[in-house]
Amino acid sequence: MRVGAADALLVVDVQGDFLPGGALAVPDGDAVVAPIRALAARFATLVLTQDWHPPGHASFASAHPGRAPFETVRLAYGEQVLWPDHCVQGRAGASLAPGLDLPGAALVLRKGLNPGVDSYSAFVEADGTRTGLAGYLRERGVGRVVLCGLATDYCVAWSALDARAAGFEAVVVADATRAIDRDGSLAAAWARMEAAGIGRSLSADVTGA
């Protein structure tokens, strides 16, 4: 895959709490760091996202007495999976992964700041509020978004789907992502992405390595 000026790399939520030993660890999540660093060197437009929740966020099981992580509840905007407390603002688990040194990133977009609204997608929060990322990318002349990070079946997939809905081409670099994969969620996410016309690639296809 040839990378040009109209391509952006979107690095999704590669944070301490999603790495092995973290509060919401994605299996093998630390394996994405090296390929992402190699990918980043190829892109003029580089955007990072961080989950950035206030304490007591509505997506935390701890905010719902009697509820356990991975149960679902109904919030004002729809069904919400409840998660262990993770990526709390200012805490170590919210920091970007060790080794993810990407000084070329022009934008770090923090999502999930609203205490009552979750945000898997980098483009649209769960209640439909737009983050402004689509406008930022258009102002920079971007037509294709290449995605990597954590987790494939949640924040990466939602971001890719919303990139397509916003009119961008979208490609997910499969070996630079890892999944939670609960109850078939990974296969379901890939099916949704493929149905939306989202491409799947490997980091070697981008870097030539």
Tell me 88's DSSP state: B
Contacts of 104 by beta carbon, 8 Å cutoff, 6+ apart: 40, 41, 43, 46
Q: Which amino acid is at 110?
A: R
Q: 156 to each of 63, 68, 104, 178, how far by Cα in Å?
A: 25, 24, 21, 9
Contact by Cβ (8 Å): 83, 60: yes
Question: 45-51 and 7-12 as β-strands: parallel, antiparallel, unpaired?
Answer: parallel
Query: What does the pLDDT read at residue 208?
Result: 78
Q: Which residues are catalytic?
A: 13, 111, 155
Average pLDDT, the chain: 96
Q: Judge if pTM exceeds 0.75.
A: yes
| pLDDT tens figures, 171-201 | 999 999 999 998 899 999 999 999 999 999 9
Domains, the chain, in order of start with CATH, read 7-54+85-149+161-178+199-207 (3.40.50.850)
pLDDT tens digit sequence for 11-69: 999 999 999 999 999 999 999 999 999 999 999 999 999 999 999 999 999 999 999 99
What are the pLDDT digits (tens) for 120-149?
A: 999 999 999 999 999 999 999 999 999 999
Place of tokens 């190699």: 38
